[in-house]
Structure 1
Amino acid sequence: MDLLDTLPARISDIPRRWAQRTPHAHALHDGQRHWTYAELDTAVAQAAELLRRWQLRPGDRLAIVGENCVAQVALTFAAAALDAWIVHINGRLSGREVDVVLRHSGARLAIYLPLSMSPETSAHAARNQAVPMPTPLGTWLVGALNPHCVPEPVHAASEQQVAALLYTSGTTGAPKGVMLSHRNLLFIAAVSSSLRGLTPDDRAYGVLPITHVYGLTSVMLGTLYAGACLHLCPRFTPDALLNALHDERLTIVQGVPAMYARLLEKLGGAQRKLPNHLRFAYAGGSPLAPTLKAQVEALLGVPLHNGYGLTEAAPTVSQTRLDTPRSDSSVGYPIPGVEVRVDNGELWVRGPNVMRGYYQEPALTVAVLRDDGWLNTGDMVRQDADGALFIIGRSKELIIRSGFNVYPLEVETVLNAHPAVTQSAVLGRARADGDEDIIAFVEPDPRHQVTPAELASYLADHLAPYKRPSDIILMPALPAAATGKILKSQLRQMV
C-alpha cells in the first residue's frame, strides 16, 4: 500500500490515534513531568474548546507566540482539529518581526505563551495588550480578536487544506508565509519517523523550535507519529543536553551543527566517548563541516547523520541512511516519494512535501513553483552517480569576484575546518568598479586564540586567490535565529 494512502486526514489525528492505542504511554516530557497520550489528547480537546469559545473559525489563522512547551503542542493540534491555520512565531524574535507576521497573516487571534524563562514573549504580549486567561494548561496571554480577519476556504482533502503558515526570510530578509498542507506535514512526519527507525520506546530531544519547520515537522510530528516520547526543551544549552542524555536516557537527538559545536566547546573537545543511550544523531538546518561531524561522532559514539531541506518542502528533501552512514559532507539521498532533478546546477524538487505556495504572494509563488509541481530550491548542488547530493551553495548568495563565481559555502566549509573556528559566514560586498569583495565573519572557538592574519594564511593554503576573503572579521558570537541558523541578513547590514 502506498504511504499516502495510510496517512490520516489531519495532523490532529496523531495524538488521538495513540490515545486510543496506548493511552498510558509517554507522549511528552516538559522538564517537570511526563504527559501520557491520553493526557495530551485531553489537553488538545480542552484547547480546541477554548479556541471555539474565543470565536476561532475554520479557515482563520491562529498565531502562537512562544517557545517549546506542552501548550504549544496542544494548540498546534487543536487548531488543526478546527481546520484553522497555525502560525508559529518564536518569542525571541524582535517586536518588529513579530508584528510583521501578525499583520501579514491577518491572524484572527494571537496567543502568547510566556514561560518563566521567556521575558521576550511577555514583552510582545504587553506591547499588543494581551490579557491573562487561565486555562487547564496554565495562564495564557490572549490578544484581542481581529475583526478584519477573513477565513480562508476549507477543504476536506488533506493535500489542499493548509495546516501551518510558517514564515521564512530566505536570503532577501523579507518574510514569506509558506503554506503547508496537512498532507505535506503528515508525509514528512511519516517518512522522518521511518528513516529514523522510531518506535514507541524511543525518547527524542525536542530542543529545535517548534516555531521552525524542522522542529515542527521532523522532530515534533515525526516523534509523535511513531508513538514515541518527545522531551521538550525551550532553549538549547550544553548543560541541558548533557543532563537529558544522562537523566532522561535519550535515544534520539536532532540538532543543528552550531548546537553540536557548543557541546564540544563545553566538554573541551571529543577527548573520550560520552556515556549515553543514543542510537541516532542527526544534524540539519545548515552546512555540516566534515571535521565537526567526525568530532561529534567520536564524542557520541554513533554516526552523525546529515540531511537537507527547506521550509517550502516541509522541510526534508534528502537524508543519509541509517544502514549506510557517510564520512563526507553529503546530505544523502532523496527521501522515498520525493523526486529531484538538477538543472544548470540548481536543485529542483517534486513530491507530497512541496508547499501550496506563498500566502498572498502569487508572483513569488509562480517564480519558484511550476504548474507540474516542481519547486526551484535556489540551491546549487552536485549529484554523484549513486544519487547522493552535495550542497554547493545558494544561487542568490553567489559572489562574482574578478569574473569568477564564488559560493560562500565553499569558503565557510574551509574556515569551519580550522580548529580555532566555531562557525563562519561569508558574504559579498559590492564595489564601485562592479566587482565584489569577499567578507568573512568568524566566531572563534573560545578555547583557542586566533587572529585574522593567521586565518588568512590558513586560507591561502586551501583556496584559490579569487576565493580568499578581503576582510576577516572576528565576532564573539554570530547573530543567529533560535534554530541556530546564522542570520546573514543582519551581517549584510554591517557589510
Structure 2
Amino acid sequence: MAVHEPGAPDCRTVPDLVDRAAQEAPEAPALLTADVALSYGDLARITRDLAAELKARGLEPGDRLLIVAENDLASPVLMLAAERVGAWPAILNARVPAVEIAKLHNLIDPRLTVVTSDAGSEKSRAAMEGHDFAPLMIEGAGTVGCAVHAPGPADTTDPPAGDVALVLFSSGTTGIPKAVLHGHTGLLKLGETLRQVRQVCAGGRYDGGAPLSHVMGISTLMSVLAARASLRLLPRLDIPDLAAQLAAGQLTHLSYVPTVYTRLLDHIDHHGIDVSGHRLEYISSGGAPLDPTLKARVEALFGTVLVNGYGMTECCPIARTPPEPGAAPGYIGKAEPGSEMTVRRRDGTEAERGETGEIWARAAATMLGYFRNPDATKAAMRPGGWVATGDLGSMDRRGGVTIAGRAKEMIIRSGFNVFPAEVEDVINSHPAVVQSAVFGKPAPNGDEYVVAVVQLRPGETLTWGTLVQWLKERLAAYKVPHLIHFSPDLPIGPTGKILKRELARQFG
C-alpha cells in the first residue's frame, strides 16, 4: 500500500519520503545537531552513498544492521541507508550494559554492527569479543566503528526482506526481550497520522531528545519526515539547553515522557527563565501516565494543551487524551484517526460498555510480528490484525477508554517497561543476597519508582550505594531500583511465593 499526498509521487518506503523532499525542497533543513545541519538534499545523497558502502561491506536485503548509539546524527542516517539496501536496522541505546548488548545482538543475529558513540564502544567490544570494528566514515557524523558478522541462514518465519523497515526491542508483558518488526507501510502511515494529529508542518522544528531506540523517538522522526520538518538531535537530554532553545523560540514541537516535563519546569522555575517568547505549537507526552497537576503546570506556562498519547512498541499510536479538562484518571480517550480499540473478555468476546477486560488495538503502525519468535507473535496477535496490549480497561458509550491497570506487575519508569522478575534475578545473583522482591511505587509526577526489598544472607552486610553501583553494571539505568530496603526476612504465602502486596503496603 502506498502513502501519498495530492501532487506528490507515491512513497512505498521510508527513504522515499527523503527523496521526495530532496526533489521538491532540497535546501529545507532535515536533521540538526549543535554542529551540523543536513538538508533533505544532503540526507538523500549521504544515505544513498552510505547504502552503497554498507552493501560493499556485505549487507544484503533481509540482513539485520545493529546500531549501538546515543541519540546522534548517525542513527537516522544509518537507519535510512540500511532501508535503502532492504536490510533491517535496529537501534540500541548505547548506555545499556555490555551483557544486554550481547543478549540483543544474539537475538537479532546481525550481519553488521555499527557503534556510533564512545558510550557504547567499549561495551560493544566487550559484548562482541573477537570481532574487529573497522572505521566507517559517515558524512556529517564522523567516523564510527563497524563490525562484520556471519549470521545464520534465513528462517522460514522471516517475512519478505523488503517488507521490514525497522526492528525495535521490547520486553512486552513477559520481561523476555523480543525484536519487534515494523514494515515500511506501517511506518509511513504512522508518520502521516502523527503529521496530521500533531499539526507538524514544513519548516517546523522538533526537539529530538526522545531516544530513537524507543518508539517515541521513531514516531517523532516519522512525523518530521512526513511533514518535511526538521529534527534537532541530542546525544543526551540536556534540560538547560532545552530551556534555552525554548526561550529563544527555536522549537515548535515537543514530545517527551512526563518526567522530562517535570525536570524542565523545575529548571525554568528555579532559574527564573523567561520562555514567553517560545513558539511551541504542539506539546505531547507518552510512555507513562500523565499527572493532572503536571499537565496543568505545563499548560499554564506555555499556553498550549499538553496531550498524553497511548501506544506500545508493537502498535502505535493507539489513543490520546482529549484536550478538554476534567478527564478521569486513567482515561486515554478515543482511538487516534486510523486506529481502533476494543475491550475483550478472556474468551475473546467483546465486553459490554463499562465492563473491564483486556484492551486490544489496531493502529497505523502495527507490528508484522516478533523476529523468529512465532509463539510470542501468536500470543500477542489476535484474529483481524488486533494486538493484545496486556492492559486492562473499559470503554464508555462514546468509545472512550479508561485503563484500570497493567497486566501482571510491569512497572513504567521514564517511559520504559521494567519487569520485576528481571531485576530480581540480577539482585539475587549478588553473593550477599538470599532473595528480593521488586515492585512499583507511584511517583508524584505520574512516573513510577522501582522499589526493591532485599534479604541478605546471615552475617552479610551491604549498603544501598554498594548495591546500586553493582546493579548499574548489570542493568540499564532505568531498571536500577530507586528505593532499596533491607529486611531480615520476606513474607511468604502458603504457596511459597513472596507476598509482594504486604511489602508494598509496608514499603510502598
TM over 0.5: yes
> Partner amino acid for 2:449?
S
Q: Residue in 2 aligned with 1:367?
A: 379
Q: 1:68 to 1:219 in 2, by over 3 A?
A: same
Q: 1:55 to 1:346 in 2, by over 3 A?
A: same
The answer to whether the 8 A contact 2:2-2:12 is kept is no
Specify which of 140, 150, 154 is matched with residue 160 of structure 2.
154
1:64-105 alpha-carbon deviations (Å, 9 max, x no partner): 110122221111111111111111111011111111111110
Structure 2 distance, partners of 1:173, 1:87, is 19
1:205-225 alpha-carbon deviations (Å, 9 max, x no partner): 111011111101x10111111
Q: Which moved more, 1:357-366 or 1:387-396?
A: 387-396
* Aligned-residue offset at 1:201: 2.0
> Partner amino acid for 1:120?
G
Q: Which moved more, 1:13-22 or 1:29-38?
A: 29-38
* Aligned-residue offset at 1:333: 2.0
Q: Residue in 1 aligned with 2:338?
A: 337
> What SS does structure 2 have at the residue aligned with 1:52?
helix
> What SS does structure 2 have at the residue aligned with 1:396?
coil
Structure 2 distance, partners of 1:385, 1:270, is 46
Specify which of 432, 444, 461 is matched with residue 493 of structure 2.
432
The answer to whether the 8 A contact 1:108-1:149 is kept is no
Q: Residue in 2 aligned with 1:348?
A: 360
Q: Residue in 1 aligned with 2:259?
A: 258
Q: 1:223 to 1:320 in 2, by over 3 A?
A: farther
> Partner amino acid for 1:416?
P
The answer to whether the 8 A contact 1:203-1:250 is kept is yes
The answer to whether the 8 A contact 1:270-1:299 is kept is no
Structure 2 distance, partners of 1:12, 1:352, is 18
Q: 1:168 to 1:144 in 2, by over 3 A?
A: same
* Aligned-residue offset at 1:382: 2.8
1:285-327 alpha-carbon deviations (Å, 9 max, x no partner): 11111111112222222111111000110x3101245xx4445
> Partner amino acid for 2:378?
V
1:153-200 alpha-carbon deviations (Å, 9 max, x no partner): 5366xxxx1111111123432101111111121111110111011111
Q: Residue in 2 aligned with 1:287?
A: 289
Q: Residue in 2 aligned with 1:453?
A: none
Q: Residue in 1 aligned with 2:116?
A: 113
Q: Residue in 1 aligned with 2:30?
A: 27
Q: 1:82 to 1:94 in 2, by over 3 A?
A: same
* Aligned-residue offset at 1:51: 0.7
Q: Residue in 1 aligned with 2:469?
A: none
> What SS does structure 2 have at the residue aligned with 1:194?
helix
> What SS does structure 2 have at the residue aligned with 1:416?
coil
Q: 1:149 to 1:95 in 2, by over 3 A?
A: farther
Q: Which runs of 5+ in 2 are unaligned?
A: 346-356, 412-419, 421-439, 454-489
The answer to whether the 8 A contact 2:67-2:90 is kept is yes
Q: Which runs of 5+ in 1 are unaligned?
A: 400-407, 441-467, 473-495
* Aligned-residue offset at 1:62: 0.8
Specify which of 392, 398, 403 is matched with residue 391 of structure 1.
403
Alignment root-mean-square deviation, CA: 2.9
> What SS does structure 1 have at the residue aligned with 2:505?
coil
The answer to whether the 8 A contact 2:68-2:120 is kept is no
The answer to whether the 8 A contact 2:391-2:403 is kept is yes
Q: Residue in 1 aligned with 2:476?
A: none
> What SS does structure 2 have at the residue aligned with 1:470?
helix
Q: Residue in 1 aligned with 2:414?
A: none
Deviating 4+ runs (over 6 angstroms):
269-273, 426-430
Structure 2 distance, partners of 1:87, 1:430, is 42
Q: Which moved more, 1:44-53 or 1:139-148?
A: 139-148
Q: Which moved more, 1:200-209 or 1:267-276?
A: 267-276
* Aligned-residue offset at 1:204: 0.6
The answer to whether the 8 A contact 1:271-1:299 is kept is no
Alignment of 1:39-438 (within 5 A): 39-114=42-117, 118-125=118-125, 127-128=127-128, 129-136=132-139, 137-148=141-152, 150=154, 152=158, 154=160, 161-216=163-218, 218-247=219-248, 249-268=250-269, 274-275=275-276, 276-313=278-315, 315-320=316-321, 324-328=323-327, 329=329, 330-344=331-345, 345-397=357-409, 416=444, 423-425=448-450, 431-433=492-494, 436-438=499-501
> What SS does structure 1 have at the residue aligned with 2:366?
coil
Structure 1 distance, partners of 2:33, 2:94, is 18
Q: Residue in 2 aligned with 1:471?
A: 507
Structure 1 distance, partners of 2:263, 2:408, is 29
Structure 2 distance, partners of 1:261, 1:58, is 43
> Partner amino acid for 2:160?
V
Structure 1 distance, partners of 2:257, 2:491, is 31
> What SS does structure 2 have at the residue aligned with 1:20?
helix
1:212-256 alpha-carbon deviations (Å, 9 max, x no partner): 11101x101111110001111121121121122134610100000
Structure 2 distance, partners of 1:258, 1:171, is 22
Q: Percent identity between the aligned chains?
A: 32
Q: 1:269 to 1:375 in 2, by over 3 A?
A: farther
Q: 1:126 to 1:272 in 2, by over 3 A?
A: closer
The answer to whether the 8 A contact 1:427-1:439 is kept is no
Q: 1:224 to 1:4 in 2, by over 3 A?
A: closer
Structure 1 distance, partners of 2:74, 2:14, is 16
Alignment of 1:437-476 (within 5 A): 437-438=500-501, 469-472=505-508
> What SS does structure 2 have at the residue aligned with 1:397?
coil
Work out the number of aligned pairs and report it.
Answer: 420
The answer to whether the 8 A contact 2:338-2:364 is kept is yes
Q: 1:155 to 1:64 in 2, by over 3 A?
A: closer
Q: Residue in 2 aligned with 1:463?
A: none
> Partner amino acid for 2:205?
R
The answer to whether the 8 A contact 2:70-2:116 is kept is yes
1:409-455 alpha-carbon deviations (Å, 9 max, x no partner): xx955x526xxx97535799873235833378xxxxxxxxxxxxxxx
The answer to whether the 8 A contact 1:168-1:178 is kept is yes
> Partner amino acid for 1:180?
H
Q: Residue in 1 aligned with 2:425?
A: none
Q: Which moved more, 1:359-368 or 1:190-199?
A: 359-368
The answer to whether the 8 A contact 1:44-1:74 is kept is yes
* Aligned-residue offset at 1:270: 11
The answer to whether the 8 A contact 1:112-1:121 is kept is yes
> Partner amino acid for 1:296?
V
1:252-272 alpha-carbon deviations (Å, 9 max, x no partner): 000001111111332347989
Q: 1:369 to 1:132 in 2, by over 3 A?
A: same
Q: 1:103 to 1:269 in 2, by over 3 A?
A: same
> Partner amino acid for 1:424?
Y
Structure 1 distance, partners of 2:395, 2:2, is 26
Structure 2 distance, partners of 1:438, 1:272, is 43
* Aligned-residue offset at 1:36: 0.8
1:430-483 alpha-carbon deviations (Å, 9 max, x no partner): 73235833378xxxxxxxxxxxxxxxxxxxxxxxxxxx72213xxxxxxxxxxx
